[in-house]
């Protein structure tokens, strides 16, 4: 808790590169009890995206298609059951873990948590080891750049447009 508070403060002070280098969101211990809300893919490096692909998605693919040796990966998004309704409306979110995205073919766990209305991010392996310093695209700064940079798509820190049954 104290770690979170100090990191939240460093964010508010806009010193992300100094003190916010590590994962801030907690590792989710209970992914198995969360609800799968979206299945998607990061195509491999050699895949040429259709020209009409929105810029936002092109950027995302470009940033993460190194995963799984550039071969692409399945991406599953899970949300705690009690946050489902809020996830549909992009929040506003109460404190706690909000959503988890897993790059299945390399077991990379992306976490979004909220505290006092602010999104916090983290990247872990399946064992809960913080891997945010192992690749530039896993750095917490990168999460904010994209999730806050595309304000018309990402609201309150979450970006996905859920397309599966549960949201119809």
Binding footprint of ligand HEC on the chain (CB under 6 A): 38, 40, 56-57, 59-60, 63, 77, 99-101, 110-112, 121-123, 138, 142-143, 146-147, 158-161
- Helix, strand or coil for residue 86? helix
Residue pair 80/114 in contact (Cβ under 8 Å)? The answer is no
Rounded Cα distance between 166 and 88, Å, is 10
Nearer to ligand HEC, 68 or 158 (CB): 158
- Give me the least distance between CB of 132 and ligand HEC, in Å please: 7
Q: How far is the CB of 138 from ligand HEC (least distance, A)?
A: 5
Listed residue (137, 138, 114) closest to 124, CA to CA: 138
Q: Closer to ligand HEC at the Cβ: 71 or 76?
A: 76
Instruction: Give Cβ neighbours of residue 32 (< 8 Å, ≥ 6 apart).
Output: none
Cβ proximity to ligand HEC, 1 vs 55, nearer residue: 55
């Amino acid at each position: 808790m104290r770690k979170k508070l100090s990191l939240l403060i460093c964010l508010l002070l806009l010193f992300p590169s100094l003190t916010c280098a590590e994962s801030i969101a907690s590792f989710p211990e209970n992914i198995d009890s969360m609800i799968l809300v979206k299945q998607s893919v990061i195509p491999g490096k050699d895949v040429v995206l259709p020209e009409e692909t929105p810029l936002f998605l092109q950027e995302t693919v470009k940033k993460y298609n190194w995963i799984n040796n550039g071969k692409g990966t399945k991406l599953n998004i899970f949300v705690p059951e009690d946050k489902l309704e809020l996830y549909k409306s992009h929040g506003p979110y109460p404190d706690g873990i909000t959503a988890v995205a897993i790059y299945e073919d390399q077991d990379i766990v992306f976490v979004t948590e909220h505290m006092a209305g602010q999104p916090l991010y983290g990247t872990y392996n399946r064992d809960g080891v913080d891997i945010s310093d192992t690749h530039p695209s896993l750095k917490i700064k990168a999460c904010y750049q994209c999730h806050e940079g595309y304000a018309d798509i990402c609201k309150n820190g979450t970006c996905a447009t859920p397309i599966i049954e549960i949201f119809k």
